[in-house]
Amino acid sequence: MMPGTIVERRADAVTVEATAPVDVRSLTGAERAVALYASDMPNGRRHHTNAQYTAWIVQGAKRLGRTEMRRLALYLRGWQVLNVNGLMTEQIQARHELRFPQRHRLVRAGQGSALTVSVDGMTKATLARNGKVGLDGDCPCKGTGGIMLWGDDPDASGEIMCPVHRRAEINAYRRTLLAAR
Ligand SMILES: [Zn+2]
């Protein structure tokens, strides 16, 4: 059995599992982060072991349920993608802060998640889902796929591909750049 897999089974109820087992390798990085945020993981700077983070991920995943965990993870990824590209909107920032009011806890959850990803990896099917993003609000591209950026210098102005709606194209372009090195 994979580490982090918990099967609840009582002697008098062997035919039906009370809760579906949680295999941490089948959770994306963002799913692990939101599960940690929802778990009993203490706030604070202390570092924890991979086994401890894994146990909290399992706890948080059960607490949220799969549907809610995936929904929160997609929104977290969407917020991260806008944030890293300097495209944050007030609406999405406000909803993100309502959802994750403890900013430092979310950072800690991300660090714990990253540790378990580096130690245990994730399944192939999960890797395929890992890059998906969702937005809780209107995209800065307004669904057009392009965002006009205005720089001080006219040469610095131009339309960029929306990092949310043209994600697949951007990823393919990055792969081409890496391959050309
Ligand atoms: Zn967009």
Q: What is the tens place of the pLDDT at every residue in 24-55?
A: 999 999 999 999 999 999 998 888 999 999 99
Task: Indicate whether 149 and 160 sit together in one domain.
Answer: yes
Element (H, E) at 149: strand 146-149
CA–CA dist 163, 45 (Å, integer): 32
Kindly give the distance from the C-alpha atom of residue 145 to the centroid of ligand 1, in angstroms, as a whole number.
Answer: 5
Kindly give the distance from the C-alpha atom of residue 150 to the centroid of ligand 1, in angstroms, as a whole number.
Answer: 17
- Over the stretch 9-25, which tens digit does the pLDDT of each residue have? 544 444 444 466 889 99
Kindly give the distance from the C-alpha atom of residue 138 to the centroid of ligand 1, in angstroms, as a whole number.
Answer: 8
Task: Indicate whether 176 and 111 sit together in one domain.
Answer: no
Task: Indicate whether 130 and 170 sit together in one domain.
Answer: no
Kindly give the distance from the C-alpha atom of residue 181 to the centroid of ligand 1, in angstroms, as a whole number.
Answer: 29
The pLDDT of residue 3: 52
> Which residues are CB-contacts of 9 (< 8 A; sequence separation ≥ 6)?
17, 18
By C-alpha distance, which of 115, 120, 76 is closest to 99? 76
Structural domain including 24 reads 1-138
Kindly give the distance from the C-alpha atom of residue 74 to the centroid of ligand 1, in angstroms, as a whole number.
Answer: 14
Task: Indicate whether 95 and 156 sit together in one domain.
Answer: no
Task: Indicate whether 152 and 174 sit together in one domain.
Answer: yes
Task: Indicate whether 80 and 129 sit together in one domain.
Answer: yes
**Count: domains in the chain:** 2
Kindly give the distance from the C-alpha atom of residue 58 to the centroid of ligand 1, in angstroms, as a whole number.
Answer: 33
Helix, strand, coil content of the chain in percent (nearest 5) = 55, 5, 40
| Regions of the chain short of the pLDDT cut 50 | 1, 10-18
Task: Indicate whether 98 and 9 sit together in one domain.
Answer: yes
Task: Indicate whether 97 and 170 sit together in one domain.
Answer: no
Task: Indicate whether 126 and 173 sit together in one domain.
Answer: no
Task: Indicate whether 81 and 113 sit together in one domain.
Answer: yes
Q: Is 175 left (phi over 0), alpha (psi -120 to 50) or beta?
A: alpha
What pTM value is reported for the model? Answer: 0.81
As residues whose CB is below 5 A from the ion ligand 1, the structure lists 139, 141, 162, 164-165
Task: Indicate whether 134 and 155 sit together in one domain.
Answer: no
Task: Indicate whether 143 and 131 sit together in one domain.
Answer: no
Orientation angle between helical segments 50-64 and 66-84, nearest 10 degrees: 110
The pLDDT of residue 1: 45
The pLDDT of residue 8: 53
The pLDDT of residue 128: 86
The pLDDT of residue 16: 43
